[in-house]
Structure formats: C-alpha cells, structure tokens
Amino acid sequence: MSSDRIVGIDLGTTNSLVAFMQGDTPVVIPGDDGLNLVPSVVALDEHDQIVVGNSARKYLIETPERSVYSIKRLMGRGLEDIQEELRLFPFQLADDLEPGEVLRIKLGRKTFTPPEISAFILRQLKRNAERFFNAPVTKAVITVPAYFNDAQRQATKDAGRISGLEVLRLVNEPTAASLAYGLDKKKNGIVAVYDLGGGTFDVSILRLHDGIFEVISTNGDTHLGGDDIDNILIHIALDDIRGDMGMDVSRNGEAVARIRKAVIETKIALSTQATAHLDVELPEGKRYQREITRTQFEQLIQPIIDRTAGPCKQALKDAGLKPEQIDEVVLVGGSTRIPRVRALVEEMFKHAPHTGLNPDEVVALGAAVQANILAGGSEATADMLLLDVTPLSLGIEVAGGVTDKIILRNSTIPASATQHYTTQVDGQVNVAIHVLQGERELAKDCRSLARFDLKGVPPMTAGMPRIEVKFLIDANGILHVSAREQRSGKEAEIQVQPSYGLTDDQVESMILDSFDYAEEDFRQRQVIEARNEADTILAALEKGRQSPAWGQLTSAEKKQIAKLETALLQVRGEDDYAAVRKAIDTLNQATMRLAELMMDNAVSTALTGKTMDEADMGDGPTAPHPVAKAEFK
C-alpha cells in the first residue's frame, strides 16, 4: 500500500474514531483495547503523562481536576461565549487567562488550549491507525459539525497540525454520513440527515444524483446534544441530594463525576427499558438511589429535543422543500437512539427514519470514503463527488454597524465574493475590514471572524484608491482573504487579527511542544516498561530463592545476586531508564545459572513422573530468559 495512506477521523464531542477504506468498504480501526470508540477524554495520570480514551475515563472520577471531556464545546470559542458551558461543565480555565486570549484549560498544574487537547485525542487515533497499518500515518480527513463556524473549523485544523496530521479536508459530519449511507446504493433522491451527537446538532438536506452528493441546505446548533440531556439529569440529582439528604455535593468534582456516569447509564438504559434505576455512591458512605421511568425522562428532555425542530424547519425552508418531498431520513449520533428523538424526527419529516446505520460510526466511515476520494478514488468511489455548502452567511461590517452579507448561507463551496473599498481621508494608507459570520442584520449580533487591516495603500486623495478585496471560502468552509489596490496594481498587505483562534506562530510553537510530549511519551513508556520488567525479574528471583536450585549456587554467586538485587531496587523508583535497564541486565546476567539450574531440576522432576504443575515451575525467571520459556511451550 502507498505510504501516504489517508485516514478519516470523526473527532466527536463524546467519542472519536478513525476509519479507512479497505477495498470497497470503509472500516473503523479499533484501539489497542479492541474498541472502535475512543472516548474524547483527556487526563493527566499520576506521572503527569497524558492519557486518552478509555484509559482516561477512570480519571474523570478519581482526579476530575486533572481530566477533561467534551472539549469540542470550547473549540474556536472565546471566554465571553462559553459562560453557559462554564456553568454546566467542570471546565477549569487557567487562572492567568487574559481577556481576548485563546482559552486555556487546566489539567493539574499544566494548561492546554482546546486545539492542543483535541490534538491529544487525534494523536491517539493516529497511533491506533499506525499500529493497525504498521506504518506511519500523516494525512487525514477530519469531520466537523456542519454548523461549525470559521473559527471552530480553523481550531479543528490547528488541532490536526499540532497532532502531526496534515488535514487534507474538513468534511461536515452529516455530509460524511450521507457518503457512507449512499456508498453502496447509488440511488437518486432527497435525503435528510439528522445528526444529534454529544454536543452538537446538525441537519442537512442533500440531493443524491448519479454519484453527486449535493447539499442543498444545512442548519443546526453547535451547542445542543446528549451533554445537555446529561446536565438536566445531573441537576435533578443534585437537587434531590440537596433536598432529601441535606447534602450539597455540587462542588465535589468526584461526586458530580460519579453522578454524571450514572445518569449517562440511566439515559442509555431508558432507550430500551421502560424504567431505569439510578444508583450513585456519595461521600460519607451515603447513596443516592432513584427510579426514573421513560415517561418522566421524556418529559424532562422534551425541551432539549424540541430545540432541534427549528433548524429542521429552516433547513426545509431554505431547500424549498416540503417534508413529503424527503425520500429518506438518516439518523446520526448516539442521541438518535432515544425513542423520543426518533418520534420527533418522524413528526418533522413525516417519515420513519432509516436506522440501518450505526449512528456512532457512520460519520467516521464517511470520512474514510472522502479520504479515499481525495487520494484519487477507487472503484467503489469512482463517480462520487461531494458538493457541500457554507452553513452561515459571510458579511462585512458597513457604516452604522450593519452587516452587509456578501456570501449567503447554503452557497455551494468553494464560493467567493469581491468587494471594493476606498479611503475616507486624503492620504489614508490603511483600511480596516471587519469580517462577520451569521444571519443577523447588525454586526454586533453576528460572529466576529476577523479584523483585517489593509496596509500600504498608496497615498491618494480620499475616495481615489480602489481596493479590491476577494473573500474566498474554500472546500473546508474556511475563509481566505486577498486584496489588491487596482489603480496601482499593488497587492495590499493583509494583517489578520483572528477574533478567536491561534496565530500561525502559536500553532508552530505548539507543534514543537507536541514533539516534546511525543518524546516525553516515549521516554516515560520506556521507564514504565523497564520498571515492570524489573518487577518481573525481582519476583522471579524471589521464587528462585525458594527453589532447591538456590542451594546449588556458590555463596559468592548468592552474594553477587543480592548485591545486584539491592542495586535494582534502588534505581527502580527513579525516572532514569538507562540506569534501570542496566541494573536489570546485570541482575539478569548474574541469575542466568540459577535459571539454568531451576530448569534442569524441573526437567528431571518431570522425568521422574511428576507433572510440570506439581514441580511448581511457577512463572520462573522466564521473562528475562526467552530461550527457557520457549522450551516449555
């Protein structure tokens, strides 16, 4: 296979996955735990090492102050737009955070930006893929919610770069799902994708015809998902505990994490059962227990799932379609397993939704299909082409603080617009442009994307310069701006002040930092492995001492072994890999004869009719002596 294999990655709020195209079929690559889903959880362990995924989950409860989940909610966002998140999630912001700075999250004593934390997850997926292929993986397609704005997309791309992946394309999640859905069908028709994930909601309406997957409209809410359902249940539990038991555990990170784990299990159970039992261990040996019926649950979550109705209606309206004109509704995201959600989808689109796809995996599988297309395609993807749209209108602030929209939402991307600017004052050499994203009329109600300073405009009488600025939204949904003064033909220098997000320099330095982490990762792993090996040989030695073979050693030999054993015990606790390694090797060498004697004894015991088990070889000093081990297979 070629060395530049491109993988598809679903970087989700709750779970992340990596997939690739195996022949004609996209498949998910499992982690070393054999599981397809890598929980999007990042923690610092007791050695200050980054742990990701299933192995990080226990830290959510054990050391909540050193772990983080749902980081996707913070991607590309500023302090002022996450007040809601801070109220509902245990995000711990860095103490020294300056206003306007990119957010930093505390994990223990370290702080990381959301793209860096996402990069830890991506690096784990990259490692999983590399182990699977036994070859380096450097290129990826990463999915994002269709309704992600420019800053959120940019942050995702930054995360990719920091993790050492070249992000060839950002694909919208519902669109990716449609690729997986339509891969083997090659049928024509109108498809709606309803994607309710852990933290985001998207709805996209597509027209499938002759292999072209054309998005007609998209809508959504980047802060709506299963997390919100969990938070409602958590708050009810906290209120109950306060009311019935007189305990306030809302500030107790461990207790809240336990409650969260329990309500998620309850939520999942209620998708298949009529009632579920909530049972949480609390501090001081107390217990919170409660029955929840599906009816109660549905009443509680109704306001949340109702919030998906507006975007669905808007998407239909923008597409100029009636629900009856939709041929199929595809469900994506774990939250679509909730029966009440399915009922709402059926009401909205007047169709029983298509449930043949695994809602957790379909986005990653679609990303793998898109990766295959980008890599040059294969027989399975030969005629496939994705035409996606920009979810939000792009505008420019004009006089009076008003947004002048220049690229409307649901325009097929790449899309561009050209604007002309001039100067207001004689000799003016700078022109400031404020770029906005959103649907509202006033600039203050739209999302500020960036402020551009056109510099080096040739000094002329006011109104004379004619500066042509070109705005281009690329196939990733990311904005590019270029400018030219038309009278002088001079390319204007553009200084970008991203309203939220990392500068190129910051990303570069994070990439360098990440190399440190990668090295640190490797070094730490070596130390840990050597330490485990030391424990094995020390245990084996202890066994050897109990065996008859020990008596056959000379006293000098015994003395030497004891000396080396002490030496190993001394360096074992230190972080010095070389020292531990050396101590293991010398002790190993010195116990070689002991191992041989034990082996001989075992063999002769076996010959005299005893079984191996009775001879009690135990584990023996086997690990450091592979030859001996092989004999007993």
Write out the residues near other proteins by the rule CB under 8 A.
Answer: 6, 168-169, 210, 212, 370, 373-376, 385-387, 398-405, 411-417, 441, 472-475
Shortest Å, Cβ 417 to other proteins:
8
Q: Catalytic residue, from 10, 150, 202, 360: name it.
A: 10
513 is catalytic: no
Catalytic residue among 45, 158, 195, 328: 195
Q: What separation in angstroms does the CA of 424 have from each of 205, 266, 399, 430, 452? A: 44, 63, 12, 10, 17
Strands 6-11 and 15-22: antiparallel
The CB-of-171 to other proteins minimum distance in angstroms stands at: 10
Q: Do residues 57 and 32 touch, judged by C-beta distance below 8 A? A: no
Distance CA 483, CA 609 (A): 91
| 565 in active site | no
Nearer to other proteins, 23 or 400 (CB): 400
CB of 32 vs other proteins, minimal distance in Å: 30
HSE of 110, CA atoms in CB hemisphere, 13 A: 18
Shortest approach of other proteins to residue 238 CB, angstroms? 33
Is residue 81 part of the annotated active site? The answer reads no
Name which of 264 and 475 has its Cβ closer to other proteins.
475
Active site residue 72: yes
Nearest CB to other proteins, comparing residues 268 and 380: 380
38 close to 121: Cβ distance less than 8 angstroms: yes
Beta bridge mates, 10: 17, 143
Catalytic pick from 116, 173, 485, 565? 173
**Which residue lies nearer to other proteins by CB, 386 or 492?**
386
Residue 211, Cβ density class (10 Å: 0-12 exposed, 13-18 middle, ≥19 buried): middle
Q: How many other CB atoms sit within 10 Å of the CB of residue 146?
A: 30
Question: How many C-alpha atoms does 153 have within 13 Å on its Cβ side?
Answer: 27
Alpha-carbon gap, residue 368 to 156, rounded angstroms: 17
The nearest distance, CB 403 to other proteins, in angstroms, is 7
- At 21, give phi and psi (nearest 5°): -95, 115
CA atoms of 459 and 377, how far apart (whole Å): 51
- When the beta carbons of 352 and 462 are compared against other proteins, the nearer one is 462
Q: Which is nearer to other proteins, 385 or 512 (CB)?
A: 385
Q: Give least dist CB 466 to other proteins, A.
A: 16
Q: Which two tokens stand for residue 505?
A: 């320099």
Cβ 170 to other proteins, closest distance in Å? 12
Q: Residue 48 and residue 618: Cα distance in Å, rounded?
A: 35
DSSP readout, 492-547? PEEEEEESSS--HHHHHHHHHHHHHHHHHHHHHHHHHHHHHHHHHHHHHHHHHHHS
* Cβ proximity to other proteins, 372 vs 622, nearer residue: 372
Give catalytic residue positions: 10, 72, 173, 195
